[in-house]
Structure 1
């Protein structure tokens, strides 16, 4: 059964009602996190060798045998299969049709949209098929809030907005950064923007911020160096595109306010989150350098970049680097 995103958490919280789970999509970290959540409901210890069997690609041939075997110590067994592709479909269907209550958990990050296995499992009522795609926008904000709430850590609005804009679309990295912030947090006070930037400011987020700020200010050498640092730290092309969008929209917000009569300082005070001191000079240079029309054109081009980076086989890193270089040229690079 194909599970809609709005029902995902409900299904995951009632894992014992299902015979199987198929987690597919582009976010490997989210696939693993959801698989671990299911495993925790089936067995107290996911490393229990009597009740948990993990099958990698070389062990796929044992799927049917393991899925129908009885536990030596009682309780339901978990058959955890990784690197799943269509070739296991026949043995999977036989295992699910067998007389057993063992739960089969499939991690299938590379499963194609037209996959026979995915299509077959979506037709079954006892298997939950759940897509795990990178979270962004509102869904990312909700995910962050859920993580912090679970740890009883409060985060103020500006800090949450900044986090949502700079974290990459990778659940494993997001979880790692959130756990770092949870350890840093004081029980009596919410995490502020300064707290958050202090904790993760020297990661790829700072490099991306420096790259986009330098590019908009026309500092080509700084932008090139910063984007290479970000890529070396693991920044994905889509994350680069989103960082560009975020930077452009902030400059555009100030330009719009100035076009309506506000002074530069008044327009800047309206930014949420506030301007980070490390990039303040570059930001002000960008505001003087760009006009609203050119910023809108650059925003549109950046959206096109993100879409291009999501296409299979696209030279995404080359496209991202070229876009940073184009931003360095300024408004004339986006004129009609």
Structure 2
């Protein structure tokens, strides 16, 4: 069964328990997920890979519910055709006060997963199409009106152009304007140009840092909190390469002087104070020879994803999830 994204508020638990979201509009998807939190829903995030590796454990968790829990929403991120066999098993099982949402990227008409949900009378399929300029303009105008912020039509157009057609980026820009205008402060076109679209991708940097520090829980949290796309993969791998090369230099210095504090303090460029602790951990965890192997592997992965961008996210996610399990005293 297919419904439009604007009809999502009509869905009730126990009338439609399993829903497929597909498409590139992560901003609109995230809006819906945030609205669920506001309505006191318990949100659980899973990677598809986790479920495929231990489906029995997943069934037990989803089908067992505490008397003290609110209605639950289980979000399975980055889903593909592989999840279909798992979902088919749920037709034989009873879900109480639980919605399962499969969050997928673009699925073509030949997709078995998409076809299964579209033809089903029991489950729901929701396509999320990319926003156009008219939709984004309406979103921006409504937001500014609600916050009682007055700016010109040309300035609204500027914000929309800076968002690159992405609803999530647009909200990020609007929230920056809201913060600036608190207390009735007015914003000029000149300052608006400086304020908007100065986004640094802290999520990717934080993800890579925690991979190199072998922090599986933090890695999992970052992956669950961010909807990385295939297009992000090159940036993730490039960030990984740059940080690995910097740690390699420091690791070589440490292997010579055997003094971690001296290695940190002598680093060029200097390491910012808040990054010293995680950098210290990375140096202690990785030997130079293993960092070299990691760099070679990253170069191979970059070549792989350039050849096949459509499968790049799964390749990168698999690699990231394996990092904490590798023995860096032996081999990658």
Runs of 4+ in 1 over 6 A off after TM superposition: none
Residues 21, 129 of structure 1: 8 Å contact kept: yes
Q: Structure 1 residues 174, 15: CA separation in 2 closer, same or farther (over 3 Å shift)?
A: farther
- Stretch of structure 1 that moved more, 65-74 or 184-193: 184-193
The count of corresponding residues between Structure 1 and Structure 2 is: 198
Paired position in structure 2 for 1:27:
25
Aligned CA distance change for structure 1 residues 163 and 103 (closer, same or farther; 3 Å) = same
Is contact 2:162–2:196 with CA below 8 Å preserved after alignment?
Answer: no
Q: After the TM superposition, which residues 38-53 of structure 1 pair with which residues of structure 2 at under 5 Å, given as runs?
A: 38-41=36-39, 43=41, 51-53=42-44
Matched residue, 1:2: 2
Q: Distance in 2 between matches of 1:201 and 1:74?
A: 40
2:93 pairs with one of 88, 93, 98:
98
Q: Which runs of 5+ in 1 are unaligned?
A: 44-50, 205-235, 237-311, 315-336
**Change in 2 beyond 3 A, CA 1:180/1:104:** same
Question: Mind listing any 5+ residue stretches in structure 2 that lack a counterpart?
Answer: 201-230, 232-307, 311-332
Give the 3 Å change call, closer, same or farther, for CA 147–128 of structure 1 in structure 2: farther
Corresponding residue of 2:137: 141
Post-superposition offset of 1:11: 1.8
Stretch deviating more after TM superposition (105-114 or 188-197): 188-197
Match of 1:66 among 48, 61, 69: 61
- State how far apart, in whole Å, the 2-side matches of 1:154 and 1:188 are: 10
Three-state SS of the structure 2 residue aligned to 1:83 is strand
Structure 1 residue 313 displacement after superposition: 6.9
The answer to whether 1:185 aligns with 2:181 is yes
Equivalent residues in 2 for 1:158-197 (5 A)? Answer: 158-186=154-182, 188=184, 193-197=189-193
CA, structure 1 residues 14+148, in 2 after alignment: closer, same or farther (shift >3 Å)? farther
- CA distance in 2 between partners of 1:134 and 1:31 (Å): 11
The Cα shift of 1:168 comes to: 1.0
Structure 1 residue 179, shift from structure 2 partner: 0.9
Deviation, 1:144, is 1.9
SS at match of 2:44: strand
